[in-house]
Protein backbone atom coordinates (compact mmCIF):
# COMPACT_ATOMS: atom_id res chain seq x y z
CA UNK A 1 0.00 0.00 0.00
CA UNK A 2 1.31 3.38 -1.02
CA UNK A 3 0.46 5.13 2.25
CA UNK A 4 2.15 2.44 4.30
CA UNK A 5 5.27 2.54 2.16
CA UNK A 6 5.45 6.32 2.48
CA UNK A 7 4.96 6.08 6.25
CA UNK A 8 7.76 3.56 6.73
CA UNK A 9 10.03 5.51 4.40
CA UNK A 10 9.67 8.56 6.61
CA UNK A 11 10.50 6.53 9.69
CA UNK A 12 13.50 4.98 7.98
CA UNK A 13 14.93 8.40 7.09
CA UNK A 14 14.51 9.71 10.66
CA UNK A 15 15.74 6.62 12.51
CA UNK A 16 18.14 7.14 15.43
CA UNK A 17 20.00 3.85 16.09
CA UNK A 18 21.43 5.02 19.41
CA UNK A 19 18.06 5.98 20.86
CA UNK A 20 16.55 2.87 19.31
CA UNK A 21 18.86 0.68 21.39
CA UNK A 22 17.98 2.59 24.54
CA UNK A 23 14.26 2.31 23.90
CA UNK A 24 14.49 -1.38 23.11
CA UNK A 25 16.45 -2.01 26.32
CA UNK A 26 13.80 -0.20 28.37
CA UNK A 27 11.21 -2.60 26.94
CA UNK A 28 13.41 -5.61 27.76
CA UNK A 29 14.48 -5.94 24.11
CA UNK A 30 11.16 -7.41 23.10
CA UNK A 31 10.63 -4.97 20.24
CA UNK A 32 12.63 -3.10 17.63
CA UNK A 33 12.55 0.69 17.54
CA UNK A 34 13.32 3.47 15.11
CA UNK A 35 14.47 5.54 18.05
CA UNK A 36 12.03 8.43 17.70
CA UNK A 37 10.74 10.29 20.80
CA UNK A 38 6.98 10.72 21.00
CA UNK A 39 6.78 14.34 19.69
CA UNK A 40 8.93 13.54 16.65
CA UNK A 41 7.08 10.32 15.97
CA UNK A 42 3.67 11.98 16.09
CA UNK A 43 4.83 14.80 13.88
CA UNK A 44 5.82 12.30 11.17
CA UNK A 45 2.46 10.62 10.92
CA UNK A 46 0.15 13.51 11.78
CA UNK A 47 -0.52 14.27 8.08
CA UNK A 48 -1.60 10.66 7.46
CA UNK A 49 -4.13 10.77 10.29
CA UNK A 50 -5.33 14.23 9.28
CA UNK A 51 -5.91 13.13 5.68
CA UNK A 52 -7.95 10.09 6.69
CA UNK A 53 -9.99 12.14 9.16
CA UNK A 54 -10.79 14.57 6.38
CA UNK A 55 -11.83 11.63 4.19
CA UNK A 56 -14.01 10.42 7.06
CA UNK A 57 -13.02 6.77 7.07
CA UNK A 58 -10.77 4.44 9.01
CA UNK A 59 -8.16 2.72 6.86
CA UNK A 60 -8.05 -0.65 8.61
CA UNK A 61 -5.70 -2.08 5.98
CA UNK A 62 -3.15 0.61 6.76
CA UNK A 63 -3.50 -0.13 10.46
CA UNK A 64 -3.03 -3.86 9.91
CA UNK A 65 0.14 -3.24 7.91
CA UNK A 66 1.46 -0.84 10.53
CA UNK A 67 0.71 -3.30 13.32
CA UNK A 68 2.57 -6.05 11.49
CA UNK A 69 5.72 -3.89 11.28
CA UNK A 70 8.45 -5.05 13.70
CA UNK A 71 9.13 -1.49 14.91
CA UNK A 72 7.19 -0.51 18.01
CA UNK A 73 6.58 3.04 16.85
CA UNK A 74 4.24 1.69 14.18
CA UNK A 75 2.09 0.08 16.87
CA UNK A 76 1.98 3.47 18.60
CA UNK A 77 0.83 4.95 15.30
CA UNK A 78 -2.12 2.54 15.33
CA UNK A 79 -3.13 3.75 18.78
CA UNK A 80 -2.82 7.45 17.93
CA UNK A 81 -4.78 6.87 14.73
CA UNK A 82 -7.61 5.11 16.58
CA UNK A 83 -7.58 7.75 19.32
CA UNK A 84 -8.06 10.41 16.64
CA UNK A 85 -11.06 8.45 15.34
CA UNK A 86 -12.48 7.71 18.80
CA UNK A 87 -15.85 9.33 18.08
CA UNK A 88 -16.25 7.19 14.96
CA UNK A 89 -15.42 3.92 16.74
CA UNK A 90 -18.32 1.64 17.62
CA UNK A 91 -18.92 -1.76 19.16
CA UNK A 92 -18.74 -3.32 15.71
CA UNK A 93 -15.12 -2.17 15.46
CA UNK A 94 -14.06 -4.04 18.60
CA UNK A 95 -13.09 -7.26 16.75
CA UNK A 96 -10.53 -5.28 14.73
CA UNK A 97 -9.18 -3.67 17.89
CA UNK A 98 -9.12 -7.02 19.69
CA UNK A 99 -6.90 -8.52 16.99
CA UNK A 100 -4.34 -5.83 17.73
CA UNK A 101 -4.67 -6.23 21.49
CA UNK A 102 -4.05 -9.97 21.29
CA UNK A 103 -0.68 -9.69 19.55
CA UNK A 104 2.64 -7.98 20.29
CA UNK A 105 1.42 -7.61 23.84
CA UNK A 106 3.05 -5.54 26.54
CA UNK A 107 1.81 -2.96 29.02
CA UNK A 108 2.33 -0.02 26.64
CA UNK A 109 -0.13 -1.11 23.95
CA UNK A 110 -2.57 -2.80 26.34
CA UNK A 111 -2.83 0.37 28.40
CA UNK A 112 -3.57 2.27 25.19
CA UNK A 113 -6.33 -0.07 24.15
CA UNK A 114 -8.07 -0.04 27.53
CA UNK A 115 -8.71 3.67 26.91
CA UNK A 116 -10.04 3.04 23.40
CA UNK A 117 -12.34 0.22 24.53
CA UNK A 118 -13.40 2.11 27.64
CA UNK A 119 -14.62 5.10 25.67
CA UNK A 120 -16.61 2.87 23.33
CA UNK A 121 -18.19 1.41 26.46
CA UNK A 122 -19.50 4.81 27.50
CA UNK A 123 -21.82 4.83 24.49
CA UNK A 124 -22.57 1.11 24.15
CA UNK A 125 -23.45 -1.03 27.17
CA UNK A 126 -22.62 -4.22 25.28
CA UNK A 127 -19.01 -3.50 26.21
CA UNK A 128 -19.89 -4.29 29.85
CA UNK A 129 -20.63 -7.94 29.15
CA UNK A 130 -17.64 -8.20 26.85
CA UNK A 131 -15.35 -6.85 29.58
CA UNK A 132 -16.77 -9.38 32.04
CA UNK A 133 -15.92 -12.08 29.52
CA UNK A 134 -12.45 -10.66 28.92
CA UNK A 135 -11.86 -10.47 32.68
CA UNK A 136 -11.79 -14.28 32.66
CA UNK A 137 -9.76 -14.68 29.49
CA UNK A 138 -6.83 -17.10 29.59
CA UNK A 139 -4.61 -14.26 28.33
CA UNK A 140 -3.69 -12.08 31.30
CA UNK A 141 -3.07 -9.03 29.11
CA UNK A 142 -6.70 -9.16 27.96
CA UNK A 143 -7.76 -9.49 31.60
CA UNK A 144 -5.64 -6.44 32.44
CA UNK A 145 -7.37 -4.48 29.69
CA UNK A 146 -10.75 -5.39 31.16
CA UNK A 147 -9.69 -4.41 34.68
CA UNK A 148 -8.51 -0.95 33.66
CA UNK A 149 -10.97 -0.09 30.89
CA UNK A 150 -12.90 2.28 33.20
CA UNK A 151 -9.87 4.39 34.16
CA UNK A 152 -10.69 8.08 34.12
CA UNK A 153 -14.46 7.67 34.19
CA UNK A 154 -14.79 9.26 37.64
CA UNK A 155 -18.50 9.50 38.58
CA UNK A 156 -19.45 7.50 35.46
CA UNK A 157 -17.65 4.44 36.81
CA UNK A 158 -19.86 1.36 36.97
CA UNK A 159 -18.85 0.09 40.41
CA UNK A 160 -20.82 -3.15 40.11
CA UNK A 161 -18.94 -3.95 36.92
CA UNK A 162 -15.61 -2.92 38.44
CA UNK A 163 -16.17 -5.14 41.44
CA UNK A 164 -17.16 -8.17 39.35
CA UNK A 165 -14.14 -7.79 37.08
CA UNK A 166 -11.75 -7.48 40.01
CA UNK A 167 -13.33 -10.46 41.77
CA UNK A 168 -12.67 -12.51 38.66
CA UNK A 169 -8.98 -11.74 39.12
CA UNK A 170 -8.47 -11.98 42.86
CA UNK A 171 -5.90 -14.50 44.13
CA UNK A 172 -3.79 -13.88 41.02
CA UNK A 173 -0.01 -14.05 41.32
CA UNK A 174 0.54 -12.15 38.07
CA UNK A 175 2.29 -8.81 38.69
CA UNK A 176 0.58 -7.01 35.80
CA UNK A 177 -2.86 -8.14 36.99
CA UNK A 178 -2.34 -7.12 40.60
CA UNK A 179 -0.87 -3.79 39.49
CA UNK A 180 -3.91 -3.19 37.28
CA UNK A 181 -6.30 -3.95 40.13
CA UNK A 182 -4.50 -1.43 42.30
CA UNK A 183 -4.55 1.19 39.55
CA UNK A 184 -8.26 0.79 38.89
CA UNK A 185 -9.06 1.22 42.58
CA UNK A 186 -6.58 4.08 43.04
CA UNK A 187 -8.06 5.95 40.10
CA UNK A 188 -11.61 5.60 41.43
CA UNK A 189 -10.51 6.56 44.95
CA UNK A 190 -10.07 10.12 43.69
CA UNK A 191 -13.83 10.19 43.02
CA UNK A 192 -15.23 7.92 45.73
CA UNK A 193 -12.67 7.14 48.45
CA UNK A 194 -15.29 5.64 50.75
CA UNK A 195 -16.26 3.03 48.16
CA UNK A 196 -12.63 2.04 47.66
CA UNK A 197 -11.96 1.89 51.42
CA UNK A 198 -14.98 -0.37 51.82
CA UNK A 199 -13.81 -2.57 48.94
CA UNK A 200 -10.33 -2.93 50.41
CA UNK A 201 -11.75 -3.82 53.80
CA UNK A 202 -14.16 -6.34 52.32
CA UNK A 203 -11.57 -8.18 50.23
CA UNK A 204 -8.32 -7.47 52.10
CA UNK A 205 -7.64 -11.16 52.71
CA UNK A 206 -7.69 -11.94 48.99
CA UNK A 207 -6.14 -8.80 47.53
CA UNK A 208 -2.43 -8.93 46.76
CA UNK A 209 -0.24 -6.58 48.84
CA UNK A 210 0.71 -4.79 45.61
CA UNK A 211 -2.95 -4.12 44.81
CA UNK A 212 -3.61 -2.76 48.29
CA UNK A 213 -0.52 -0.55 48.16
CA UNK A 214 -1.48 0.96 44.80
CA UNK A 215 -5.14 1.36 45.74
CA UNK A 216 -4.32 3.12 49.01
CA UNK A 217 -2.07 5.81 47.56
CA UNK A 218 -4.65 8.61 47.83
CA UNK A 219 -6.64 7.29 50.78
135 half-sphere exposure, CB direction, 13 A CA radius:
24
For residue 129, the model assigns a pLDDT of: 98
Flag whether pLDDT at 8 surpasses 90: yes
Rounded to an integer, the average pLDDT of 198-219 is 97
Contact 94, 130 (CB under 8 A): yes
Alpha-carbon distance of 91 to 172, in angstroms, equals 29
Per-residue pLDDT at 99:
97
pLDDT, tens digit, for every residue of 182-198?
Answer: 999 999 999 999 999 99
Query: Per CATH, the architecture of 1-88 is what?
Result: Alpha Horseshoe (1.25)
Note the pLDDT tens digit of each residue in 53-91.
999 999 999 999 999 999 999 999 999 999 999 999 999
How many whole angstroms from its chain centre is CA 198? 28
Q: What percent of the chain has pLDDT over 90?
A: 99
Instruction: Determine the angle formed by the axes of helices 72-84 and 107-121, rounding to 10 degrees.
Output: 10
- What confidence score (pLDDT) does residue 159 get? 98
Q: Give residue-wise pLDDT tens across range 90-149.
A: 999 999 999 999 999 999 999 999 999 999 999 999 999 999 999 999 999 999 999 999
Q: End-to-end CA distance of the chain: give it in Å, rounded.
A: 52
Mean pLDDT calculated for residue range 38-63: 96
Find the length of the chain.
219
Domain ranges of the chain: 1-88, 126-219
pLDDT tens column, 120-132: 999 999 999 999 9
- The per-residue pLDDT of the chain, averaged, comes to 97
Contact 189, 218 (CB under 8 A): yes
| Third-level CATH fold of 126-219 | 1.25.40
Q: At residue 157, does pLDDT exceed 90?
A: yes
* Residue of 89, 95, 64, 87 whose CA lies nearest to 77: 64
The string of DSSP letters for the chain reads: -HHHHHHHHHHHHH--HHHHHHHHHHTTT-SB-----HHHHHHHHHHHHHHHHHHT---HHHHHHHHHSSBHHHHHHHHHHHHHTGGG--GGGHHHHHHHHTSS--HHHHHHHHHHHHHHHTT-THHHHHHHHHTT-SSHHHHHHHHHTTTT-GGG--HHHHHHHHHTTTT---HHHHHHHHHHHHHHHTT-HHHHHHHHHHHTTTS-HHHHHHHTTT-
Within this chain, domains 1-88 and 126-219 share the same CATH topology: no
Q: What is the pLDDT of residue 137?
A: 98
Q: How confident is the model at residue 1 (pLDDT cuts 50, 70, 90)?
A: confident
Q: For 161-180, what is each residue's pLDDT tens digit?
A: 999 999 999 999 999 999 99
Amino acid sequence: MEKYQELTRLFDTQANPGKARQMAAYMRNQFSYYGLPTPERRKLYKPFIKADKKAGRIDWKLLELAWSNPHRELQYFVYDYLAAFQKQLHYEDVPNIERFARSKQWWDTIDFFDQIIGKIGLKDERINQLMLKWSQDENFWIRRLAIDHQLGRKELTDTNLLEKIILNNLDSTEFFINKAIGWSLRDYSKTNPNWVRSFLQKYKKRLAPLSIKEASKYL
